[in-house]
Amino acid sequence: MRNFQGRRIKKSYIYYPVTKKIIINGSIFILTLFVLVIVYKCKNPTRESDYFNPNVLATHFNGERFVGSTTCMECHADIYTTHLETAHFKSSAIANAGNVKGSFEEGSNMLDLRDVAFEMKTNKDSLYQHTTLKNRSLKKPPSKFDIVIGSGVKGQSYLTWENDALYQMQVSYYTPSNEWVNSPSFPNYDYSRPIGDACLKCHMTFAANQNTSKQRNTFDKDRMVYGIDCERCHRPGEKHVVYHRNNPDAKEAKYMLRLQDLPRQQRLDACAQCHSGLRNELLKGSPFSYLTGEVLSEYSRNNDTLTSNQNLDVHGNQYGLLSSSECFKQSATLDCNTCHDPHKNQRGNSNYFNSKCIGCHDVNKSRCTAEAIVQNKMQNNCIACHMPTIASKAMQVQLIKDSLETSFYVRSHLIGVYAKEQWEN
Ligand code: HEC
Ligand code: HEC
Ligand code: HEC
Ligand code: HEC
Ligand code: HEC
Ligand code: HEC
Ligand code: HEC
């Protein structure tokens, strides 16, 4: 080594050992720090950064990310708690012994049809449908109950995975008679019933179709968001959560659509995406592309636009029926939320619904008063006469005993004057 004058110098003159010491000590220090950080991180799992980066359940096609209602709980506890009791939240879930309503007890765990019989059995924590084909020696492997569709107010259907492909099972559950039934539109034994977006779009918050099969029934299992959760109506909420967790004092909502302020049609669209018929004709994207706040008619429409609203089936088309009613046509503000609180289970709360009718109608002044109400004990139940339940022609199931199709009864949203025979009693 040479000094600046080019003279050769001894190594010791340039304090080499000191530099070396610094390097060695420094390395030990950095290494120790590194180990300490790792030990700390293992002992204290990344709590804080988890809190500011909530777990993402799925990413929508537009890049917005779903974080699930458990994330909303800390700041919207009241809404969160009542939401858990709604048919919406319970409308789909991973199947378990607690949410499958049909019985697995011997004696009531059978469905006996003409060509085939089913027996429902549990094995450890899993639930299975065992199939016996009559007059055939062929043995079918049991199908596992993987996903529940339907809260069970009226009934449930079940789905099973075969690898990444989703199929509907042959047995369903019918609440009015508390028994296993043949799944709707499954007249005969039919082993394979692929389930695609067209079924899931109304019963789940989000599902990512992989489009890898001809039958369009392959999904990314890790990106399914079960139940009709907050973010299906309010859009994916990651940004909102991150903002408010970082700004706990902020009183005004950020990165969250105000549904209250949308024009009437978009407010209706938020519900109509699932309550206005099948809307099988896609105009844009996939069935999960539309998000609240957008214009639904740009995304999808019903195939049979020729059917008049009066002939619409009561199942799944509350929007079509309501918008054909005089209450809707002759008022500027009436929408689904005039009568429904989307965060609560209000089934059977007739006082609440009556108060909504009376809010617009002075019964004492209308022709309703005299005859109709006096002769009937149901004066406090406007809907029994003006929104009666009607048998659905679209949704029917086959019960075990008689092989006739039995209808689901659904409350009509065509508000009007009905014949006495149609009144509920
Ligand atoms: C860290 C707290 C926090 C979390 C977590 C949180 N929010 Fe909020 N949110 C707020 C605050 C603060 C407001 C504004 C005050 C209010 O309306 O309650 C708000 C308002 C809202 C509003 C009303 C918007 C408006 O302008 O009227 C909606 C809808 C909403 N949040 C949905 C959600 C959803 C869905 C989730 C879960 C994905 C969620 N929030 C999670 C803090 C939070
Ligand atoms: C993602 C699709 C979807 C959206 C969006 C949606 N619903 Fe529903 N709704 C359903 C399904 C599916 C059911 C049946 C749930 C079940 O019983 O499994 C249902 C059930 C209901 C019920 C009956 C609840 C009960 O106790 O049986 C009411 C009332 C209702 N929805 C109103 C609304 C309103 C109002 C909106 C808009 C603010 C809305 N829905 C948005 C799909 C949806
Ligand atoms: C079926 C659709 C639907 C679901 C599911 C839903 N909301 Fe809402 N939410 C609405 C609608 C519609 C409004 C606007 C109501 C109005 O017009 O007054 C609203 C309003 C709100 C508001 C502001 C007004 C208020 O009542 O404070 C908050 C906050 C909110 N929702 C949070 C949530 C959270 C959190 C969840 C899940 C735990 C949730 N919502 C689930 C449809 C829904
Ligand atoms: C266009 C939206 C839509 C599609 C698609 C749809 N459903 Fe539904 N489903 C509803 C609505 C809305 C209700 C409840 C209210 C009604 O009957 O109008 C419902 C009710 C149900 C119920 C009864 C739940 C209960 O207890 O109240 C079951 C079970 C069910 N659907 C299963 C299915 C299956 C299985 C598929 C796919 C093969 C499917 N649905 C496709 C909207 C839909
Ligand atoms: C937002 C206000 C509003 C609400 C809420 C409302 N209505 Fe109406 N309703 C009207 C208007 C406006 C008309 C048309 C003028 C009239 O007949 O009074 C109407 C018409 C009617 C008619 C006559 C229908 C026809 O075909 O001639 C009946 C019956 C009726 N409403 C019953 C009800 C019942 C029952 C409820 C509660 C489930 C209800 N309305 C809720 C505003 C409303
Ligand atoms: C004028 C009041 C009113 C309006 C507006 C209204 N509903 Fe309803 N809805 C009711 C009543 C009353 C019931 C019966 C509740 C019960 O069974 O206790 C009901 C029941 C329902 C059910 C369950 C039907 C069944 O038989 O299982 C669904 C789904 C529903 N409403 C959706 C909607 C949607 C979507 C809209 C907007 C397009 C809407 N409703 C607008 C009053 C209304
Ligand atoms: C027992 C059945 C029954 C009950 C309960 C009932 N109505 Fe009526 N309502 C009728 C009949 C029938 C008519 C038609 C009367 C006629 O045209 O002479 C009618 C007519 C009406 C009309 C239309 C009147 C007009 O001016 O055209 C309204 C609005 C109305 N009812 C509202 C209500 C409200 C609000 C309630 C609940 C507080 C209610 N009804 C309870 C049977 C009933």
Pocket test for ligand 7, best of 350, 379, 386 (most atoms within 8 A of CB): 386
d(CA 167, CA 177): 25
**147, 168: one domain:** yes
Residue 367, domain member (yes or no): no
Domain annotation covers residue 369:
no
Q: What range defines the domain where residue 136 resides?
A: 89-227
Ligand 5 centroid to Cα of residue 327, in Å, is 4
DSSP 8-state symbol, 183? P
- Is 118 part of any domain? yes
| Same domain, yes or no: 246 and 195 | no
Q: Residue whose CA is closest, atom 15 of ligand 6?
A: 347
Q: What is the DSSP string of 258-309?
A: -GGGS-HHHHHHHHHHHHSS---EESSS-TTT--TTS-GGGTEE-S-TTS-G
Q: Are residues 206 and 239 in the same domain?
A: no
Structurally, the chain folds into a number of domains equal to 3
pTM of the entire predicted model: 0.91
Q: Which ligand is nearest to the CA of 411?
A: 6
For residue 384, the CA-to-ligand 6 centroid distance in Å is 13
Sign, CA dihedral 262-263-264-269, equals: negative
CB 264 less than 6 A from any atom of ligand 6: no
Using DSSP bridges, classify how beta strands 405-411 and 389-398 pair: parallel, antiparallel or unpaired.
antiparallel
Residue 196 alpha carbon to ligand 6 centre in Å: 27
Residue 100, domain member (yes or no): yes
305 is a domain residue? no
Nearest residue (CA) to ligand 3, atom 13: 259
Q: Whose CA is nearest to atom 31 of ligand 6?
A: 318
Among the bound ligands, the one closest to the CA of 407 = 4
- Residue 88 near ligand 3, beta carbon < 6 Å: yes
Q: Which atom of ligand 6 is nearest to the CA of 411?
A: 26
| Residues 40 and 56 occupy one common structural domain | no
Cβ neighbours of residue 192 closer than 8 Å, sequence gap 6 or more? 167
Ligand 7 within 6 A of CB of 376: yes
Cα–Cα distance measured from residue 401 to residue 384, given in angstroms and rounded to the nearest whole number: 30
For residue 272, report the distance from its CA to the centre of ligand 2, in Å. Answer: 10
Same-domain pairing of 145 and 156: yes
- Closest approach atom of ligand 5 to CA 382: 35
Under 8 Å between Cβ of 68 and 74 = no
Task: Describe the chain by its helix, strand, coil percentages, rounded to 5.
Answer: 30, 20, 50
Ligand 6 pocket: which of 292, 315, 318, 390 to mutate (most atoms within 8 A of CB): 318
365 is a domain residue: no
Nearest alpha-carbon partner for 171 in 228, 103, 227:
103
Cα angle for residues 202, 205, 207 (degrees, 5° grid): 90
215 assigned to some structural domain:
yes
Q: How far is CA 246 from CA 46, 57, 240, 249, 299, in A?
A: 16, 20, 10, 9, 35
Phi, psi of 353 (to 5 degrees): -65, -40
CA of 396 to the centre of ligand 4 (A): 12
CA distance 186 to 326: 38
User: Domain check: are 215 and 249 in the same one?
Assistant: no
Q: Are residues 101 and 37 in the same domain?
A: no
- Using the mean position of ligand 3's atoms as its centre, give its distance from the Cα of residue 241 in Å: 15
- Give the pLDDT of the chain (425 residues) as one tens digit per residue: 444 444 554 444 444 455 566 666 767 666 666 666 555 555 554 456 788 889 999 999 999 999 999 999 999 999 999 999 999 999 999 999 999 999 999 999 999 888 889 999 999 999 999 999 888 777 789 999 999 999 999 899 999 999 999 999 999 999 988 999 988 777 666 668 899 998 899 999 999 999 888 889 999 999 999 999 999 999 999 999 999 999 999 999 999 999 999 999 999 999 999 999 888 899 999 999 999 999 999 999 987 654 544 455 546 689 999 999 999 999 999 999 999 999 999 999 988 999 999 899 887 766 665 465 555 555 568 898 899 988 776 655 555 444 455 667 888 999 999 988 888 76
Nearest residue CA, atom 9 of ligand 4? 316
Residues 184 and 251 in one domain: no
Closest C-alpha to 194, from 212, 169, 175, 173? 169
Count CB neighbours of 244 within 10 A: 18
User: Do 238 and 192 belong together in one domain?
Assistant: no
- Give a yes or no: residue 162 inside a domain: yes
Alpha-carbon distance of 331 to 361, in angstroms, equals 12
Q: How far apart are CA 131 and CA 116, in angstroms?
A: 7
Same structural domain for residues 190 and 244?
Answer: no
The strand pairing partners of 132, in sequence order, are: 117, 139
Ligand 5: which residue has its CA nearest to atom 37?
357
Which are the contacts of 356, defined by CB distance < 8 A and separation ≥ 6? Answer: 338, 339
Which of 218, 241, 256 is at the close of a domain?
256
- C-alpha span between 56 and 26 (Å, rounded): 40
Residue 171 DSSP label:
E
